[in-house]
Amino acid sequence: MEDIGISHHPRRKPNGVTKADREARKSEDLLKRDFKSEKPLAKCVTDITEIKASDGKLYVSAVFDSFDSSVAGLAMDTNMKAPLCVQTLENAARAYPGIRGAIIHSDRGSQYTSQLYRDAVCHYGIRQSMNSAGGRCHDNARCESMWARMESELLYDRYNTEFHFLKSSVMLRLCFSALSKFQKRQRQK
């Protein structure tokens, strides 16, 4: 790239939010990077993203449907512990009862390997899938792509700021509004 005068300048430094629990039991990789789905709620991906605010951080957890990239479940909190992910599943199951029997794919973060989360997955009749090997973002590329797009299009590029001056309560409302607009746009496609 340097030979032709092109250089890459990332807007933000990537942050490693995922903390894998090396001792926890892992689930099989049911998707094997095949994120295409022929019908709604057959394959879903989930992850957490971190958004900085003036009074701390806001963690946004979502379940995205691989069929049309719509948001099936969403939860936000000021920590990224397992109850946040369980709340996301509960919200998805409440909004879309047809999610029963779906495959839900995640990274190997400690939230997703926790017994609390595994119990919730069983309770809602969902099949859990995890990255084949820890630390490879391509194994959950669909979800990483959705977060990058949401953050870029709906937050950082749109308002031309990093939001460090906003409180997490304001960020929560802004994120919810942005994701609602994104969801509406996805349905119209």
Query: pLDDT tens-digit profile of 111-146?
Result: 999 999 999 999 999 999 988 665 565 667 777 777
Which of 179, 187, 19, 37 minimizes the C-alpha distance to 103?
Answer: 37
Q: Kindly report the number of other CB atoms within 10 A of residue 96's CB atom.
A: 18
Q: The tokens of 181 are what?
A: 């607009």
User: For the segment 133-180, what is each residue's pLDDT rounded down to a tens digit?
Assistant: 655 656 677 777 777 777 776 666 655 455 555 666 666 666 767 666
- Are the C-beta atoms of 49 and 143 separated by less than 8 Å? no
| Residue, of 89 and 144, whose pLDDT is higher | 89
What is residue 118's predicted lDDT score, i.e. its pLDDT? 95
CATH class of the 19-188 domain in this structure: alpha beta
Which of 148, 113, 147 minimizes the C-alpha distance to 130?
Answer: 113
> Confidence class of residue 68 from pLDDT cuts 50, 70 and 90?
confident
| Residue, of 81 and 183, whose pLDDT is higher | 81
Task: Specify the long-range contacts of residues 87-91, CB closer than 8 Å, at least 24 apart.
Answer: 87/61, 88/46, 88/61, 88/62, 88/63, 89/63, 89/117, 89/120, 89/121, 89/124, 89/126, 90/120, 90/124
State the Cα–Cα distance between residues 155 and 159, nearest whole angstrom.
Answer: 6
Which of 113, 102, 136, 111 minimizes the C-alpha distance to 49?
Answer: 111
DSSP H/E element including 130: strand 127-130
What is residue 89's predicted lDDT score, i.e. its pLDDT? 95
| Residue, of 126 and 25, whose pLDDT is higher | 126
What is residue 128's predicted lDDT score, i.e. its pLDDT? 94
What is residue 58's predicted lDDT score, i.e. its pLDDT? 82
Q: Quick one: average pLDDT of 10-19?
A: 53
Q: At 165, which amino acid appears?
A: F
| Residue, of 96 and 11, whose pLDDT is higher | 96
What is the gyration radius of the CA atoms in the chain, in angstroms? 17
Q: Kindly report the number of other CB atoms within 10 A of residue 143's CB atom.
A: 25
Averaged pLDDT of the chain: 77
